[in-house]
Amino acid sequence: MSHPFLNTPFDLTGRAALFTGAGGGIGRSAAIELARAGAIVGIHYRSSVDGANETLSTIQSLGGKGILLQGDLAQEYAANRVVDQFVEFAGRIDILFNNAGDPLRRSTIEDCSTELWKECFDVNVHSAFMVTRRAIPHLKATGNGSIINNLSLSVQTGGSGGAGPYAAAKGALQVFTRTLSRELAPAVRANAIMPGVVETRHHEVFTTAEKMEDYRRQTPLGRNSQADEIAQTVLYLASDASRFVTGALIDLNGGRFLR
């Protein structure tokens, strides 16, 4: 496979990367970017089969190798099956990008039902826990594993417009990242990205056009980000270029929120 990262720290030839929620948006862009760098990729999706197929087709057109993996990761048996199927296909796991997540629907904490609260944690936290737990022995076996968790700017802001349950779940995922970085070192690194507003289908569903324009005006760089820009940071954290980085949370919000 010919790609632009040969003989650089970004060369992932021979490595295997599992992406959850890779049927579109950040997951799709990251899977394509790492395949371009030489990785064998696992493209997980829950229901967006057309998007997952498009991701795989793009990777194959670049000369890459990948497999589609379907499952509801909130179910333990499905999470285990996705990991096992990818290992059977690729023979190993070097990189895990826990990208699958969903705000589900907006609700204030006062009006939030117990069912919605539990579902938010199932979809955004428990799924990542179960996939990661199953993948850990394989990541350790490489001696150079990398886990990347996808958070949200709402971790810092507390969420807005009814995104509180989602923000709370992503906050738990942040602490989970730090726990992993302590427990799995030095064989496996664990880091997280925290995107701001990314122009993907997510915001087409949950955010009005007027609000998106407000976000652009509030961002010092003068625009919202694109999924392929976020994918560049996933590539960095997956690669040897970040070999001394673990337990980190990388802000990707164009300066809109400064810690």
Q: What's this model's pTM, rounded to 2 decimal places?
A: 0.92
Predicted pLDDT of residue 202: 58
Q: Is 166 considered catalytic here?
A: yes
What is 120-165 written as a DSSP string?
HHIIIIIHHHHHHHHHHHHHHHHSSEEEEEE--THHHH--SSS-HH
Helix (H) or strand (E) holding 250: strand 249-252
Contacts 24+ apart (CB under 8 A), 201-206: 201/24, 201/25, 202/25, 202/103, 206/103, 206/106
Q: Which two tokens stand for residue 13?
A: 């030839």
Handedness of CA 74, 128, 35, 82 (dihedral sign): negative
- Angle between helix axes 127-142 and 164-184 (nearest 10 degrees) is 20
Domain chopping of the chain, boundaries: 16-198+230-252
Are 238 and 182 a contacting pair, CB within 8 Å?
Answer: no
Q: 45, 77, 166, 215: which is the annotated catalytic residue?
A: 166
Q: Which amino acid is at 124?
A: N
Class at the top of the CATH hierarchy for domain 16-198+230-252? alpha beta
The per-residue pLDDT for 205 is: 56
d(CA 201, CA 181): 31
pLDDT at 218: 80
User: What is the reported pLDDT for 254?
Assistant: 79
Please give the pLDDT value at position 207: 63
pLDDT value of position 6: 58
pLDDT score, position 201: 63
Residue entry with tokens 């886990």: 147
Residue 145 has which token pair? 């594993």
User: What pLDDT sits at residue 223?
Assistant: 82
The pLDDT tens digits along the chain (259 residues) read: 455 655 678 999 999 999 999 999 999 999 999 999 999 999 999 999 999 999 999 999 999 999 999 999 999 999 999 999 999 999 999 999 999 999 899 999 999 999 999 999 999 999 999 999 999 999 999 999 999 999 988 888 888 788 999 999 999 999 999 999 999 999 999 999 999 888 876 555 556 777 778 878 888 888 888 999 999 999 999 999 999 999 999 999 877 877 6
